[in-house]
Structure 1
């Protein structure tokens, strides 16, 4: 069974999600071949991309650790409460999670923190959401799955006939703003792995490179490390600390609410209604941004700058954001004046006339974009 193709929702359980967010600008496969250790056969960058797309496992379990050190300043008002603490850990701390997978309808994710544990468990049509801190559990019953869509009805170009064709389509769909090479072998979670390296061609990017560790046997990505330019240590790391490709025991997916837990029953229709409401709110937020002039994309690839007009808003969240912005350093130039947020991987400029510009670039690039 191909985990990544037949169950796209499981992809985020694997550390490649971090790389996808960073390399949205595109990539072109390099011709350098991995100078792997004698224990591993040589694999080119293109071959490794094919390997990842065709990774097949029946099950796995392990511990994922995420660490971040982006060099962000302390922002008063943005780290209060449970949600604020979680946000702080994402950008300047460490998080861990346990994951179990045993086929398309058996999966479990346990997010671990100092405040407690949050579990999402699927066992067939039963889905549980459990929070240890609040001692609450919600049970959903999913509807019977619809018959799989006939792939013959899809456009021919959407269904590659060979692994190499799949890799060629992936590379052809993105522009060559990235150099993809290999550096050799590594050890991740005690397993032999190849390293796939993605580097921006444009040296103006704050991102130096992204390293993806790929299991030599199963071809499942084991870790992602994002490095700032000229840095020796990663600013962002997401990787398996421990992993086993044995199929987990069925008991891992059988949830029994602990004593004292408040259980709420829900259903797929209610969940769908919640999703519709969230989609509606997202559309309204997008309309607010559009009414303010809409986002503008300046540049391309790794040095893309996104500029938008801040929508008018009110409430406690808006007040907290405004308070945080006021603590940022003041900057000015021919483009005007405003506040600047810098980190090792990105910069954000908030101008006094209500514009926001952001990108994985140095402040000088934002200043240039602000004059356009």
Structure 2
């Protein structure tokens, strides 16, 4: 999901991203946030192969071949997200509810298909399409699926099975690369320091639009990337909600009015003071802690730290480009001293299953599969 409303604000400000000429990537390190950018394509390929009795590895091989026609393999790193993080617990719970709803809807559709089949009636195309839609909506890849997917992708690309979230641990620059381009649909990346160019797939098109940091800052009326980080820390996204009554536009105005500070923590504290002056809502720093950890401290905590989250050989380590003084993060006293015990979390996460929908299958087999 990313930052709620950010792309809309950029569009409302009149910024229309130019269609990017992909041949211009010759001097760039390209980092692809795979699941954010190509989620539907990945799920479709994995389901297709599993229906054929194969694994997600075969899907990865095909996807790698397709991606190689767009991105230069020797200059591209694919990022696949890892274990769920505690900071994103509410979002995982919301998605789990959507999976549960999809499974219940699929159950109803299967019962209808079964009834018509038992009565010798034809099952309409719309019914099959509805079942297909619910299968895709409810499907979640297992950790084994992701491992196999990465194995297939590595036939053409350096692929990072990130230790945590794919957008928290980006690698640095190779020395011969002059710039870094991130390919994503996720507006979270606008709030990460050091990212100056984003390629985002354009709707209903095979083209990509270029979003440059300076253009994004201008759209928000900001003068520094630190303001984007502060806005991410206090606004609705996968890691937390808005303070009631304070949406993205209001928050952007408030952040713009706060004295600019390289210490993002001070800016968040100033935002809290402003909110307390305007509302009776109880607001404190802990409400923004998850977002502060993700966007400013650039860290998160996995739900099960005992598992290995890196599949296969890690990407080649490359030297990082040194940050300029205005980009270097500073940690305030709270950042240095605050230690929060996060309770263990076992969210409901539906397991992926391998349905095989084709004309003439036995609906009972699908029901049995769902029950497994």
- Provide TM-score, normalisation by structure 1: 0.22
The structure with the greater share of residues assigned to strand is 1
Structure with greater contact order relative to length (CA < 8 Å, sep ≥ 6): 2
- Provide TM-score, normalisation by structure 2: 0.22
